[in-house]
Amino acid sequence: MAICTVYTTQSLNSTCSVSKPAKPQLGFHQKQVVFFTKSRRRSGMSSCGSSVITCSAGEQRTVVIGLAADSGCGKSTFMRRLTSVFGGAAEPPRGGNPDSNTLISDTTTVICLDDYHSLDRTGRKEKGVTALDPRANDFDLMYEQVKAIKDGIAVEKPIYNHVTGLLDPPETIKPPKILVIEGLHPMYDARVRDLLDFSIYLDISNEVKFAWKIQRDMAERGHSLESIKASIEARKPDFDAYIDPQKQYADAVIEVLPTQLIPDDNEGKVLRVRLIMKEGVTYFSPVYLFDEGSTISWIPCGRKLTCSYPGINFSYGPDTYYGHEVSVLEMDGQFDRLDELIYVESHLSNISTKFYGEITQQLLKHSDFPGSNNGTGLFQTIVGLKIRDLFEQIVASRAATPLEATKA
């Protein structure tokens, strides 16, 4: 196995990319970079072959973020909020496979872990496994390629075509400033998990998931209530076995629950959302309300701020989550007016904004995104700001000590 000289001597402080013929990526098969075929899977680092690797002289190494959630739980909205915080719009790779799952912005590349399915739809059917099952996913390749990108080396990543259910020819992923791996299993494999500089789990409660599916599949797609219930039930055992346990590893969990402001509410329109933030994570200082480390409940609606029914209720405090010390910020209810939003923002601390009202600006800018008026949008935006802050701190710390890796 060939190890590139450039890699062994410079890659920790370099951004490298593989130059290749300027031809369309569709159907493009090239073996010079980290590959997804069986034979190379356990080879450790990239095989450079005879391709030309160019490395930039900067101190930057890709910062890797993991985002776990079930399908249809708002990952793509979250990604659009995250890239918006960094300033650019995220778009699919230009001139590539129109069914690519990748989104690229100036700073950030988001790859979908469905692309590491080792079994296509037919294969899963034949073997009787769901996409949630680790056996339907290629964690060796996932690890190798994420590691390569983190080390500044471009990879040829497969594409899982959600339309056809087949594995399409790969696309080149160049090392970005920030790589987000989003999907069902970003924290499942310990090796992949160790590559993450920050990890997030979107935890949608069964009640809310059910209400959302009814809204989408029944109202918009004409499915029956029974078939929706059956599809949720069918997914549940594998979800509980393989997806849900990942939340114990997350640095931040966004929990979405039914409101407690409306008795017996089952519409799932008003939400209670909890942002669970792990303590002691390098470059991540949890958001707090009024007094860090104490337990607070706050109804901002009162003499200075009037809110419409059912109002807004915040709470904040220390807790433990899977044995880890965490801080939890909770919002129940929704914003109806701009002044409610700016009022709440102005009372939160450690939100890593660059100017007064930045959260409000972000939520207003994307007011058409789902959840912009409630805790999902608020906390997704906050997590976006925290990731920007984390990224900037990592870059700054590398500039200060260029040869020291920040995460083992």
Taking the least distance from each CB to its own copies, the nearer of 166 and 262 is 262
Taking the least distance from each CB to its own copies, the nearer of 35 and 343 is 343
Q: Give residue 88's identity as a one-letter amino acid code.
A: G
Phi and psi, residue 331, nearest 5° = -125, 125
Minimum distance from CB of 334 to its own copies (Å)? 17
Q: Which residues contact 243 (CB under 8 A, 6 or more apart)?
A: 68, 70, 132, 184, 185
Minimum distance from CB of 346 to its own copies (Å)? 10
Taking the least distance from each CB to its own copies, the nearer of 248 and 297 is 297
- Three-class SS of residue 215? helix
CA separation for the pair 324, 320 (Å, rounded): 5
Shortest CA distance to 362 belongs to which of 344, 385, 333?
385
Minimum distance from CB of 295 to its own copies (Å)? 4
Minimum distance from CB of 310 to its own copies (Å)? 14
Q: Give residue 71's identity as a one-letter amino acid code.
A: S
Half-sphere exposure of 118 (CA within 13 A, CB side): 16
Minimum distance from CB of 293 to its own copies (Å)? 3
Taking the least distance from each CB to its own copies, the nearer of 215 and 295 is 295
The full 3-state SS of 322-369, as one line of letters, equals CCEEEEEEEEEEECCCHHHHHHHHHHEECCCCCCCCHHHHHHHHCCCC
- Say if CB 194 and CB 408 are below 8 A apart: yes
Taking the least distance from each CB to its own copies, the nearer of 26 and 305 is 305
Minimum distance from CB of 279 to its own copies (Å)? 8
- CB-based burial of residue 288 (10 Å sphere; 0-12 exposed, 13-18 middle, 19+ buried)? buried
Shortest CA distance to 162 belongs to which of 216, 209, 126, 120?
120
- CB-based burial of residue 98 (10 Å sphere; 0-12 exposed, 13-18 middle, 19+ buried)? exposed
Shortest CA distance to 158 belongs to which of 149, 167, 170?
170
Taking the least distance from each CB to its own copies, the nearer of 282 and 297 is 297
Taking the least distance from each CB to its own copies, the nearer of 89 and 296 is 296
Minimum distance from CB of 358 to its own copies (Å)? 20
Contact positions vs its own copies (CB under 8 A): 290-305, 317-318, 347
Taking the least distance from each CB to its own copies, the nearer of 95 and 302 is 302
Minimum distance from CB of 325 to its own copies (Å)? 8
